[in-house]
Amino acid sequence: MTNDSSTLNTPDKKKGLPKVRSGLNLSANFLEAQDGKIDQKEHNFKQSMGPEKGFDLSMINTHYAHRRKLRKEKMVLRYGEVIFLTGKDVQNNYLSDILAYARYSLLESVIIATNMSDKTQKFLIDMQNLLPTFKKAYPNNTVVMVKNIISEQGDPEYYFLREFIEARNVKTLPAYRSLMISVTICEDDQFIFKKCLTNSIERTKVNLLAGKSIE
């Protein structure tokens, strides 16, 4: 009996690609190639910056290291479905300088927004594009834990899923800064549900007192 392992690296006549054991190898090769491109872009970016141009390379290095760490820790940032969102001002006008999107997976999604302008921006994130996907996966009274994963400051907040998507929470970002908000699906837990309900009632009271819509 011959060992057919030698055929694993023979060219595929139809596609001109080497045969591999599984799609996992293809995925690994693809991700490795993508990481190489990212590293090269990072290197090129750093080469164009420096103290003489008013940039602190140590801060830039810290920024890239933190983003790499987040990407390794959170699978959703590597494999999550991309859903484009919209940045709007408080009058509900579209803001072209705000890049907003989500990376979606079944148990956790991440909302990402970047201020692409050279001035501080106050804005809302219109997340209506998430509704069709979330409606297929969860009921409206699903509880989610919401946390800023860049600053990691403050306690997580709890929302009902539909309430979170439709909330008009104003965000503030300095020039060329980003935010990342983790939205994690909570398991059925009476304590968490009661806490979420209490927080929701308090938010409704605050909005009523401020004359804001609670529709």
Q: What is the DSSP letter of 18?
A: B
For the segment 68-127, what is each residue's pLDDT rounded down to a tens digit?
Answer: 777 787 888 888 999 999 999 989 999 999 999 999 999 899 999 999 888 999 999 999
Domain boundaries of the chain, sorted by first residue: 80-209
Q: Quick one: what percent of the chain has pLDDT higher than 70? A: 66
Above 90 in pLDDT, residue 50?
A: no
Question: Stretch 8-31: mean pLDDT, rounded?
Answer: 43
Percent of the chain with pLDDT over 90: 32
For residue 135, the surrounding DSSP H or E stretch is: helix 131-137
Rounded CA separation 146/156 (Å) = 6
DSSP state of 12: P
Q: DSSP H helical segments within 146-189, as ranges?
A: 161-166
Averaged pLDDT for residues 161-173: 89
Residue 155 pLDDT class (50, 70, 90 cuts) = confident
Choose the weakest-confidence range: 51-65, 71-85, 86-100, 197-211: 51-65
Angle, to 10 degrees, between the axis of helix 57-73 and the axis of helix 23-47?
Answer: 170
pLDDT of residue 49: 55
How far is the CA of 167 from the CAs of 8, 12, 106, 153, 162, in angstroms?
53, 53, 21, 21, 8
Residue that is written with structure tokens 């484009």 in the block: 84
**H/E run at residue 145:** strand 143-148
Q: Is 80-209 assigned to CATH 2.60.40.1180? A: yes
What pLDDT is attached to residue 103? 94
Q: Residue 33's pLDDT is what?
A: 57
